[in-house]
Amino acid sequence: MNRYAVILLMALAMVARAQDEPAKPAEPKRPRPPLTEEQRAEMEQRANETWNKLPLEAKNRVLRLHRALTQLPTEERQFINERIERFLNMPQEEKKRLKENAERWKNMTLEERQKAREQFRQHRLEFEQKWRQEHPGEEPPPFPPRAPKPPPPPPSTENPEQRTENPTKENP
Q: pLDDT per residue over 82-91, tens digit each?
A: 999 998 999 9
Between 125 and 160, where is the model more confident?
125
Q: Are residues 121 and 59 in the same domain?
A: no
Give per-residue burial for 36-59: e unless 16+ CB within 10 Å, then b: eeeeeeeeeeeeeebeeebeeebe
159 belongs to a structural domain? no
Domain span at 99: 92-135
Quickly count: other Cβ atoms within 10 Å of residue 70's Cβ: 15
pTM over 0.85: no
Q: Are residues 61 and 101 in the same domain?
A: no
14 belongs to a structural domain? yes
Between 160 and 81, where is the model more confident?
81
130 belongs to a structural domain? yes
The stretch 95-121 carries a mean pLDDT of: 93
- 1-45 pLDDT, tens per residue? 566 555 655 665 665 555 555 444 445 466 778 889 999 999 999
78 belongs to a structural domain? yes
Has residue 172 got a pLDDT over 90?
A: no
Domain boundary among 120, 135, 150: 135
Dihedral sign, CA of 156, 158, 159, 160? positive
State the total domains in the chain: 2
Q: Are residues 45 and 6 in the same domain?
A: yes
Give me the chain's average pLDDT, please: 78
168 belongs to a structural domain? no
Return the minimum-mean-pLDDT range out of 83-87, 133-137, 153-157. Answer: 153-157
Q: Are residues 125 and 53 in the same domain?
A: no
154 belongs to a structural domain? no
Q: Are residues 58 and 74 in the same domain?
A: yes
